[in-house]
Structure 1
């Protein structure tokens, strides 16, 4: 990514299985870095299905009711809208389906068969500002928007002024402009376009990331437990990264464009046949 703002101080580190980079106009002191590290660890301990000690892992084993994480209402309300927009294709209880296909806590990448997510998930999963409960054990997965939410949290901890948080391709920009390449899903050395983002977030999702076996990847249709086949990559720009991340996930399904319009997001998506679609007001510069 190329900065058009005086973001001369960078910090790169690894967390939650990806590489992060924070660019800022002034150095991030040890206190700020500690706050950011602590926030990422806390989020992971609540929402990671890859950690045995996490809140969602305990709920999978025991079910029941626990104090709600601070992000529960924002994220699960968004999942409610995602489920409605995609006719059930995006579902926060898709975790067991992903694990069965091989994207499990051990990263076994061994397909143990197809299982769909429970369609009555709203009857099983109940949330409020105070509590989060599961009527029976199930595995919550917030992969459709969790990394975007965490990128927003991290940006809030960066001192005021121009800054960019890049959470492994989920990018949120404050008081600056970034020109961001849209990576070709089948050739990382190429881009299908460039998108200039100012005071907003741009999130991407692609089937070539976290892919394994015979055509398996991390974007499943929760209704069937099967990986999506029609679209190869999506990009969405919105006022915050959680919204952009959620829309990027929804765009793998027919209801994605409608949800993007309702939420004020712009988008680009590329089909597995190489075709490219974009929203009416999209400002990305797309190449032939």
Structure 2
């Protein structure tokens, strides 16, 4: 596959595209050269790991277990997510609570939940949708 895009007024010829689904979105990475085989595997591994903790669309995710825990409980998050919690604390404070990382239940009540918006359980290569989120790796 070859595509031409403009970067700072300069055309760039893109030769390879890696498409996948992860963390509730469709992704596309376009590069001038095909990614080394281990890179797409690593991307899928990282996004699968993140999804396993944070996806409210997965029955086996940590946040789904939290949502279904009657009476609350104690849950352990990966240490790598400490920075994410710190960021959310700053965003909640800066926005007077408008930014809320615990908005999932509110979205469910509005009809935006797993039965309406299912996602695959695993990162996998796929065909693009009409408007995927696109990342561009350009030198």
Smaller-chain TM-score range? 0.5 to 0.7
Structure 1 residues 13 and 170, CA gap change in structure 2 (3 angstroms): closer
After superposition, give the CA deviation of every residue in 1:106-163 in whole Å (9 maximum; x if it has no partner): 227xxxxxxxxxxxxxxxxxxxxxxxxxxxxxxxxxxxxxxxxxxxxxxxxxxxxxxx
Any idea what SS the aligned residue of 1:37 has? helix
2:5 alignment partner, one of 2, 5, 20: 2
For residues 86 and 168 of structure 1, what CA distance do their matches in structure 2 show?
A: 28
For 1:73-112, what aligned pairs fall within 5 Å after superposition? 73-107=82-116
State the aligned residue count: 117
Unmatched 5+ stretches in structure 1: 109-166, 177-288
Query: Are 1:25 and 2:32 counterparts?
Result: yes
Query: Which of 49, 55, 65 is the matching residue for 1:58?
Result: 65
SS in 2 for 1:10: strand
Report the TM-score when normalising by structure 1: 0.36
Which deviations, in whole Å up to 9, do the C-alpha atoms of 1:195-242 show, x marking residues without a partner? xxxxxxxxxxxxxxxxxxxxxxxxxxxxxxxxxxxxxxxxxxxxxxxx
Query: TM (normalized to structure 2)?
Result: 0.68
Shift of 1:93: 1.6
Shift of 1:3: 4.3
Q: Deviations over 1:137-196 (max 9, x none)?
A: xxxxxxxxxxxxxxxxxxxxxxxxxxxxxx94364x5554xxxxxxxxxxxxxxxxxxxx
Q: Secondary structure at the match of 1:20?
A: strand
Residue equivalent to 2:133: 169
Secondary structure at the aligned position of 1:14 is classed as: strand
> Offset at 1:29?
3.2
Q: Which has the higher strand share?
A: 1
Could you say what secondary structure the match of 1:104 adopts? coil
Shift in alpha-carbon separation, 1:68–1:170, aligned structure 2, 3 A: farther
Q: By percentage of residues, which structure has more helix?
A: 2
Closer, same or farther: CA 92–170 of 1 in aligned 2, 3 Å: farther
| 28 and 81 in structure 1: CA distance in 2 versus 1, 3 angstrom threshold | same
Q: Secondary structure at the match of 1:51?
A: coil
Aligned-CA RMSD value: 2.7
- What secondary structure is seen at the aligned counterpart in 1 of 2:30? strand
